[in-house]
Amino acid sequence: MDVHEYQAKELLASFGVPIPKGAVAFSPDQAVYAATEMGGGHWAVKAQIHAGARGKAGGIRLCRSTHEVREAANDLLGRRLVTHQTGPEGKPVQRVYIECADAFERELYLGIVLDRKVERVRVVASKSGGMDIEEIAATDPDALLQVVVEPAVGLQAFEARELAFQLGLNIKQVGAAVKTIMSAYRAFRDCDATMLEVNPLVVTRDDRVLALDAKMSFDDNAMFRRRAIADMHDPSQSDPREAQAAEHNLSYIGLDGEIGCIVNGAGLAMATMDMIKHAGGEPANFLDVGGGASPQRVATAFRLVLSDQNVRAILVNIFAGINRCDWIAEGVVQAAREVKIGVPLVVRLAGTNVEAGKAILEKSGLDLITADTLTEAAEKAVAAVRAAH
């Protein structure tokens, strides 16, 4: 789960990470009021979306008057901001963050990430702030400073101090940087985050070290114990189909292909998409209906898949263990009655109550294509798409 910049900064500030003064606004009037209340003569108006590279896309405006603040907020609010991380469809801007734009001397980079490969938390820092981490890694990999945290003891102050010295900070700045790094690590650890990025982390003329930007992502599986963070979720930033799937306890991720997939089990869903690719097709989605899917959930899965206008065929692949093939078959029949499918439907059933499931499909009179193996099902789905073209 992702949160907005202003939400990430609120969390960081609660753990002691210094941040500039700022306030969120949902209208131009609120933006002007926030700038007036903060005082000063320079402000940044930042579009709040779940994506990076906002500055390059015109999503961050520097203003020298409240009139410019109003114009910037009016221009950003209600538009779809397109960056290289959002894709061509962009993301809607429904709120902006007004922040004091105080002068600073240096931009640094600080990131904390859960490195699943080594099963450790990795802290990454660089002297090159304000750039994408991928760009830093490609142009100057030696500039990346890294600490792999020992989980038994956590990040130690001496490790943060070594990073601060390697960043070229003076003695006074080192003390401020160590506090910021340690506080950011505690926020990452105690909030069940999987990624925290401060880019840039800036050094001011009076030797303060501030988080000028912040991005945080969290472990979805831990949100049951982080209700305050879960409540920060902004559905407008997600694919509407993914939000609808979550409401029905379905795991759905939209892709760019033409063959919709309805599968039980994440591993089998991945294998199904691989087999479609192997057969020469492109999957339109990842969709796991789970181990105990009812006919109602299967019907909901059909509606989600068919809401994608690019879908030219649907492949249902069920290997029932906890689940039951007759439940899935009932769900297919129910979906066909409630929703006009309108595309070729390939069904492969195996496992618990498979004969009962096949009998239900046969008696339904539905125009569908059956298969006994995953390979056969994938090949028939790809052939159906090609025939439709």
Q: How confident is the model over 309-351, as pLDDT tens digits?
A: 889 999 988 887 767 888 878 878 887 777 778 888 898 888 8
> Tokens 């694919």 correspond to what residue?
239
Active site residue 109: yes
For the chain, the first-to-last Cα distance in angstroms comes to 38
**Per-residue confidence (pLDDT) for residue 314, from 0 to 100:** 92
| CATH class of domain segment(s) 1-19+104-237 | alpha beta
Identify the CATH number of the domain defined by range 21-101.
3.30.1490.20
pLDDT digit string, tens, across residues 54-90: 888 889 999 999 999 999 999 999 999 988 887 777 8
> Structure tokens of 119?
């099963």
Nearest 10 degrees: Cα torsion 149, 151, 153, 159 = 0
Binding residue ranges: 46, 99, 102, 107, 199, 213, 264
Contacts of 340 (CB under 8 A, 6+ apart): none
Domain 240-388 has CATH 3.40.50.261: yes
Binding residue ranges for Mg(2+): 199, 213
Catalytic option among 97, 109, 185, 252: 109
Active site residue 197: yes
Residue among 208, 233, 206 at smallest CA distance from 220: 233
pLDDT digit string, tens, across residues 267-306: 889 999 999 999 999 999 998 887 665 667 777 888 888 8
What are the structural domain ranges in the chain?
Answer: 1-19+104-237, 21-101, 240-388
- Checking DSSP bridges between strand 96-100 and strand 43-47, what pairing results, if any? antiparallel
Binding residue ranges for substrate: 264
Catalytic option among 5, 159, 197, 258: 197
- The answer to whether residues 348 and 372 touch, using CB atoms and an 8 Å cutoff, is yes
